[in-house]
Structure 1
Amino acid sequence: MEQGKVQFEIRAVVLGWQKSDKASVINSILGDKVEPDKYFVKSVRKDGEVNGRKISLINTPCWWENYDLRDLPEVVKQELVCSVFMCPPGPHVFLLVINLSLPFTEENRLTIEKHLSLFGEKIWRHTIVLLTQTDSVRSADLQRIIQRCGERYHVFDFENKSVGVKDLLEKIDNVVAANNANHFETHDDVLLDIQRKRDENERRAKARQETVQEKRDLLKEISKSYRNVYTSQKFGLDLC
């Protein structure tokens, strides 16, 4: 960070299919807040402060590593896209977490490209590839992903977290500067339409739950009345 440079808050969406690595990155930045083995069906926001800077990280549902986007449940697609609305007015950056303990294949690349297409083409100018479990970038398919992100990538050092976080924040600041301090646009009609569908699905689900609960409460009242009648008849009590 250049001396005298204004440090704004950071809003970031964390993407990827490896839940433990995503959790480790978030924990390294904000502290121990996310369980490494917990699978999130809904996006979850975590807030904290690092070196006097406010930071909001959105942990998103994981997609299936080698599955086609068409096979991803609609509710997961909606949660992925709606993650951008959880840090208004919008995220500055997307952190695409990739664990390179296994080879990165063409199938991995295609899966990433299809899932990020949910957000529209502009997502690439706001994305940093965050690599874990590696010290080199050799895969041609991975290099193609990094190229689409404007050659932005960061090898996260979990053993020296303070340095890893400091370097990452500097790269995030560079993304913000490259985008003229503009955040990712959340007023895109496609994104807003997905948000409306998600909200409508949640409204319907809540209405169904309320209806089921009302029926359960009614059955409890009927059962209670029958028990009272049975008790009065058994012991010859007058309920009138």
Structure 2
Amino acid sequence: LKHRVPVNIQDTPVSSLSPIRIVLLGCGGAGKSAAGNTILGQKEFRSEISVTAVTRECSAAHTTVSGRSVTVVDTPEFTSINTEQSMTEKRRSVYLSSPGPHAFLIVFPLNKRFTEHEQQIMQQIEMMFGQEALKSSIILFTYGDQLKGEPIEELIEKNYVVKRAVQQCGGRFHVFNNRDQSNREQVNDLLQKIDTMIEQNGGGHYSNQML
């Protein structure tokens, strides 16, 4: 509990052209930074194929996507050992997306087997940001080309860890093919899902209770 950030969902009107603020969360090698670049339609975050941490500190990038302002905050990767310093840095993402993110995208890669590590990531997110954060979260599956025609719903149903994570996020998920950054339809579909989630949250965003 000591790591929990006091939060509330701030009520604000939602519009299809209103700004969207996104925080990316995930482990090393998940394609998290590449997903951020895909959303932005340009290379803003360092991205490379690696199982070790590439992102050491939070960074934010802004652009216009389909006529609306989009802010994406990349965060340090989750590892098997998360230090107080790395957890503090992840929490800083809320301030970089001030007044608060509309969506946490929890990145799960489809190019490797899902294990209890993904379950631990969900627990760490809840510990750092509180349960309210999951109301503003979507599971983002990367390396969508690895599905090879298999419906993502079947994969979710077959794997308890993944199914549980999706359930914790209110059944919300999306699939990205990071190799096809020119495919803007996958980005627009994601933004529509975020809009729907914002409406379900009463038109609000996640926020620290600033003291």
The TM tier, using the shorter chain, reads 0.7 to 0.9
Q: Per-residue displacement from partner, 1:105-152 (whole Å, max 9, x unpaired)?
A: 234213332243210110110000000124322311100000010000
Q: Residue 230 of structure 1 aligns with which residue?
A: none
List structure 1 segments (4+ residues) > 3 angstroms apart after TM superposition. Answer: none
Q: Percent identity at matched positions?
A: 29
Inter-CA distance 13–161: structure 2 relative to 1 (3 Å threshold): same
- CA distance in 2 between partners of 1:6 and 1:132 (Å): 25
- CA distance in 1 between partners of 2:202 and 2:133 (Å): 15
Inter-CA distance 20–151: structure 2 relative to 1 (3 Å threshold): closer
Q: Residue 45 of structure 2 aligns with which residue?
A: 34
- C-alpha RMSD of matched pairs (Å): 1.9
Which residue, out of 15, 23, 46, partners 2:61?
46
Q: How many residues align?
A: 180
Whether 1:176 and 2:198 are equivalent positions in the alignment is: yes
- CA distance in 1 between partners of 2:164 and 2:39 (Å): 27
Q: Residue 127 of structure 2 aligns with which residue?
A: 117
SS at match of 1:183: strand
Contact (CA 8 Å) 1:12, 1:93: kept in 2 or not? yes
Please, which runs of 5 or more residues in structure 2 have no aligned partner?
Answer: 1-14
- CA distance in 1 between partners of 2:30 and 2:138 (Å): 18
Counterpart residue type for residue 165 of structure 2: I
Q: Which has the larger radius of gyration?
A: 1
- CA distance in 2 between partners of 1:8 and 1:111 (Å): 30
More relative contact order, 1 or 2 (CA 8 Å, 6+ apart): 2
So what's the TM-score if we normalise by structure 2?
A: 0.79
Contact (CA 8 Å) 2:17, 2:67: kept in 1 or not? no
Q: Per-residue displacement from partner, 1:207-232 (whole Å, max 9, x unpaired)?
A: xxxxxxxxxxxxxxxxxxxxxxxxxx
1:28 positional shift:
1.0
Which residue, out of 171, 174, 188, partners 1:154?
174
Larger helix percent = 1
Which residue, out of 126, 133, 141, partners 2:136?
126
Q: Residue 187 of structure 2 aligns with which residue?
A: 165
Contact (CA 8 Å) 2:57, 2:89: kept in 1 or not? yes
Contact (CA 8 Å) 2:16, 2:195: kept in 1 or not? no
SS at match of 1:151: coil
So what's the TM-score if we normalise by structure 1?
A: 0.70
Larger strand percent = 2
Q: Per-residue displacement from partner, 1:174-201 (whole Å, max 9, x unpaired)?
A: 111111111102117xxx7xxxxxxxxx
- CA distance in 1 between partners of 2:16 and 2:58 (Å): 30
Q: Residue 231 of structure 1 aligns with which residue?
A: none
